Structure 1
Amino acid sequence: MGIAGLWIAPILAAAALVFATAGAQAATDAEPLVDAAWVHAHKDDPNVVVLDVRNGITDDSRETFEQGHIPGAVYSNYLQAGWRTKRDGVPGQLPSVESLESLIGGLGIDNDDHVVVVAAGESALDMGSATRVYWTFKVLGHDRVSVLNGGHAAYASRYQLAQGWNQPAAAQFAGQLQPQLIADRQEVASALRSGTGLMDNRPTKQYRGAAKHPAAAKPGTLPGARNVPESRLTNGGTFADKDRIAALLKEAGLEREGDQIAFCNTGHWASLGWFASHEILGNKQAKVYDGSMTDWTLNGGEVEVLS
């Protein structure tokens, strides 16, 4: 090696170390909710993956993604790509770990990546796409994940978008099921006997039994459940702050801490309530009843009609 090489090699090594360290820091300075400025600042970090899950809830599709997306983002349609599946007649359920590993790895995501999940950012219903995918990553034991507060709309209002399609190289992703985040029918039955806090995140009309989901066998709510409607957890696509969420739970008669099960019709809105409780308020005993009222009513569960 010549004299120039003796000087250049250490410089290149130092640059590589700085680059790698910056990438590692990108994954550690993220909160469960990140804003558009954070995403813009980290969009080029090699271990940050922006996952755009816009879908038919807001009339979005792959074509919409190609017309404009956060630079470097990869696309996966929440309603069509396999994030949820039908099981025992109940739609919208958590797929097998193996299926999710294949889906996530196919998006170029590995276990070292920090994933930022991006919904359209128009409403609570829409933001449930992001929180449900977020919850899925958590259920798989992947804690390096955030939701873009305000969704795609928040980013698009401030920064330039990219066009076209990004095809990621497949990666290896390994999940490890975290059952403490999931409540099943048997656990809900036990919760009814023990007085565990039950948070119904459906619109008030459904909570009271004046309307129901088409897949549910009958209207009503779980006996003793309290209503925190999904639409009150966000202002459009932006989450209410911690104090507001705490006030909503108190108003509904729910504790801020302790055993709690969030539910809705099929676990979509419930992920929004779980995110607010588990991630924003920090109640690590909160769970999602994946099957929710559809699973409960199709299997003869007792309901309470309040209207």
Structure 2
Amino acid sequence: MNGLRIASFLLAASSAAGAVELPGPVVTAAWVNEHRADLVVLDVRSDLAGFVTAPEYTTDAKTGAKVLVSGGGHIADARLVDFNLTRVSRMVGDKKIDKMLPSGDEVQALMRKLGVGQDDALVITSPGESADEVDMAARLYWTLKSYGETDMAVLDGGNAAWLAANLPVSTTAAADIAAGDWTAAELNKAWLAEIDDVKPAGTAPLLIDARPAPQYLGVYYKKPAVAAPGHVEGALNYPTDLQTRQTGLAQMFMSAPQYAKVMTAVGIAPKAGAITYCNTGHMAAGAWFVLSEIMKIDGVRLYDGSMHEWTTLGRPVVGVGL
């Protein structure tokens, strides 16, 4: 599969001189609107009904302006991606571990069913109203990057930012589409951490727990996905609510210097080779995206199994001991 991707990339480079060039891993609603005809938009979400639900507005009593109160709908012609189909269950010994990275064949089949072509420039969006939704986009980005995709970006603020820019949305159901020819490369493990890569007790590499502080501390934990409260010994907490900054309904990314200040404030000095984790590799994808793609820290990896695998397999945790 790797050879096919390289060959297609070379062909595209030589023949598609007019193709759109993504400005970076994050794009704005205005940029997407300007280049919409040259992009394939992947709308990833777990709330599939929201794809065809109209947004809700109210009128400001003082100004008479229309104010968005609830998002809904999608960017016209976006391909609907069920987030639940982007992760799979796998047996590790005699234990079933859920929500793991699919195989290349599985990702390839999903992308082709969505009509994605080998040379398409991709923009990944989500409803964008919570860090949880933004992290779905980040997780899909990480998955596709791991299988060789390079021509993609995440829409800053997702559909909420699109609506805030007064851009139109559709509520038409996702249509059947001709199969694409997107081809997965061999899995690149440069951004993937596995259980034996995770070293407790503060030894290298740096571990970053991307869950809310109460889960990190063990005040409560996400049963049944996680089997014990607390965190991997030595991990530092980068809480989920510090991944984005709310603007209206939209959860927006910050700049690399702003993230550096946030990291310093919570006692984290990012370094190459850091590993992010959470409960199931969902929230950790957002932390990975911030560190790897926005801050450009080399070799940042996402521990796919996260606390679900770690605690299911009986690895030790520490916490406040409530």
Matched with 2:61 is: none
Q: Displacement of 1:62 after TM fit?
A: 4.7
Mapped to 2, the partners of 1:30 and 1:51 lie a distance apart of 18
Take 2:169 and 2:50, find their aligned partners in 1: how far apart are those partners?
16
Task: Please state whether the residue corresponding to 1:117 is helix, strand or coil.
Answer: strand
Report what 1:200 is aligned to. Answer: 209
State whether structure 2 residue 30 is matched by structure 1 residue 21: no
CA contact (8 A) 1:44 1:72 kept: no
CA contact (8 A) 2:97 2:308 kept: yes
Give the CA deviation at 1:163.
Answer: 3.7
Aligned to 1:183: 193
Whether the 8 Å CA contact 1:71–1:162 is kept in 2: the answer is yes
Q: Residue in 2 aligned with 1:211?
A: 220
- 1:156/1:167 Cα in 2 relative to 1: closer, same or farther (>3 Å)? farther
Unmatched runs of 5 consecutive residues or more in structure 1:
1-18
- Are 2:165 and 1:160 aligned? no
Larger radius of gyration: 1
Structure 1 position 284, deviation (Å): 2.3
Relative distance call for 1:103 and 1:192 in structure 2 (3 A) is farther
Q: What is the distance in 2 between the residues matched to 1:68 and 1:148?
A: 15
| Partner residue, 1:83 | 86
Deviations 1:177-198 (A, max 9, x none): 1111100001113x65733110
What is the alpha-carbon distance in structure 2 between the residues aligned to residue 260 and residue 276 of structure 1?
A: 12
Structure 2 residue 232 is matched with structure 1 residue 225: no
Name the CA distance, whole Å, in 2 between partners of 1:156 and 1:136.
27
Is this contact kept in 1: 2:191–2:302, CA < 8 A?
A: yes
Query: Paired residues, what number?
Result: 279
- Aligned residue for 2:153, secondary structure, equals strand
- Is 1:266 aligned to residue 273 of structure 2? no
Q: CA deviation at 1:293?
A: 0.6
- CA drift of 1:76 comes to 1.4
Spell out, residue by residue over 1:83-116, the C-alpha distance to the aligned partner (whole angstroms, 9 max, x if none).
0112232221111111110001111112211111
Measure the CA separation in 2 of the matches of 1:60 and 1:43.
24
Greater Cα shift, 246-255 or 176-185 = 246-255
Paired residues of 2:43 and 2:79 also in contact (CA < 8 A): yes
SS of residue in 1 equivalent to 2:124: strand
The CA RMSD over aligned residues, in Å, is 2.1
Structure 1 residues 214-293: aligned runs within 5 Å: 214=223, 215-236=225-246, 237-293=251-307
* Aligned mates of 1:115, 1:38 — CA distance in 2: 13
2:108 matched residue in structure 1: 101
**TM-score (norm: length of structure 1):** 0.85
Report the counterpart of residue 110 of structure 1 in structure 2: 117
Partner of 2:60: none
Distance change (3 Å), C-alpha of 1:289 and 1:250:
same
TM-aligned CA deviation for residue 61 of structure 1: 4.4
Letter in 2 for 1:273: A
Identity across matched positions, percent: 33
In the other structure, the counterpart of 2:42 is: 51
Letter in 2 for 1:138: K
Code of the aligned partner of 2:101: L
Q: Find the counterpart in structure 2 of residue 38 from structure 1.
A: 31
The structure-2 alpha-carbon separation of the partners of 1:170 and 1:192, relative to structure 1 and needing over 3 Å to count, comes to farther
Structure 2 CA distance for aligned equivalents of residues 93 and 64 of structure 1: 30
Q: Is the 8 A contact 1:192 1:223 kept in 2?
A: yes
Tell me, yes or no, if the aligned pair for 1:129 and 1:268 is still in contact at 8 Å. Answer: yes
- Residue identity opposite 2:272 in structure 1: G
The whole-number CA distance in structure 2 between the counterparts of 1:251 and 1:301 is 30
Alignment TM-score, normalising by the size of structure 2 = 0.81
1:20 shift after superposition: 5.0
Distance of 1:195 and 1:257 partners within structure 2? 10
